[in-house]
A and B are shown apart, each in its own frame.
Chain A
């Protein structure tokens, strides 16, 4: 597609439920990133995928968070047993490669509200 696409744009869920957030990167981009933007913590890195390499999960805040990238393209971020502190905007980005300061292109984000 023309840009990074994320769905849904908004999600309201009840505390304790699982949610899945989807990211469709720019075609041909081998690197994909997830970030979280919240009022208290600003913009935080969560995880990134580069080709077939093992993902860098160093930013995931707890084991309730996981992500996968199927076929080197679409990625799904899953949050299990959601908590109110998970409420945030989840941003996905993609880039042609990792390293060398390669520009990352961001999607419009998924606003998650846990009630």
Chain B
């Protein structure tokens, strides 16, 4: 069975602070995919990033960066110099290689105060 755990339910920061969201996953598969999605107040889930289990290279996209560590089954997400527009719920998710069913974590609500 697959499982994704986001231990932080809510994080509150002041604008320009960095914030790191933790994600720990469980799977017996050797090939799998990890995702991060953002859910702003409008409700639509917005895709941020996808990693496959064979690519442990960290990735940076603007103010966003991701740290994938297979040894600890973690796929953490950092927002650098946070902005008010980053306020949203962020979901980590896991998918098998052969299908696209996403197993989501419980989500982390990020509140960035001006």
A: which residues have CB within 8 A of B?
Answer: 31, 33, 35, 42-45, 48, 56, 58-59, 89, 91, 93, 95, 98-109
Q: Report if B71 contacts A (CB, 8 A).
A: no
- The proximity string for B residues 38-78 relative to A, scoring 1 for CB distances below 8 Å and 0 otherwise, is 00001111110010100000000000000000000000000
Chain B residue numbers with a CB within 8 Å of A31 are: 100
- Given B47, B91, B97, which contacts A103 in the complex, CB threshold below 8 Å? B47
Whole-angstrom distance from the CB of A103 to the nearest CB of chain B? 5
Whole-angstrom distance from the CB of B95 to the nearest CB of chain A? 6
Check A95 against B101 for contact (C-beta < 8 Å): no
- Given B43, B50, B91, which contacts A101 in the complex, CB threshold below 8 Å? B50
Check A106 against B44 for contact (C-beta < 8 Å): yes
Check B43 against A42 for contact (C-beta < 8 Å): no
Asked if A107 meets B44 with Cβ closer than 8 Å, knowing A42-B106, A101-B50, the reply is yes
Asked if A56 meets B101 with Cβ closer than 8 Å, knowing A42-B106, A42-B107, the reply is yes
Of B42, B98, B104, most A-chain CB atoms within 10 Å: B104
Q: Report if B11 contacts A (CB, 8 A).
A: no
Asked if A101 meets B97 with Cβ closer than 8 Å, knowing A91-B45, A107-B44, A109-B43, the reply is yes
Cα–Cα distance between A43 and B101 once the two chains are bound (Å) = 11
Q: What residue of chain B has the Cβ atom nearest to residue A91's Cβ? A: B45
Cα–Cα distance between A59 and B103 once the two chains are bound (Å) = 11
Chain A residue numbers with a CB within 8 Å of B95 are: 101
Q: What residue of chain A has the Cβ atom nearest to residue B45's Cβ? A: A106
Whole-angstrom distance from the CB of A11 to the nearest CB of chain B? 14
Q: Report if B81 contacts A (CB, 8 A).
A: no
Of B50, B93, B101, most A-chain CB atoms within 10 Å: B101
Q: What residue of chain B has the Cβ atom nearest to residue A103's Cβ? A: B47
- The proximity string for B residues 78-114 relative to A, scoring 1 for CB distances below 8 Å and 0 otherwise, is 0000000000000101010111111111110000000
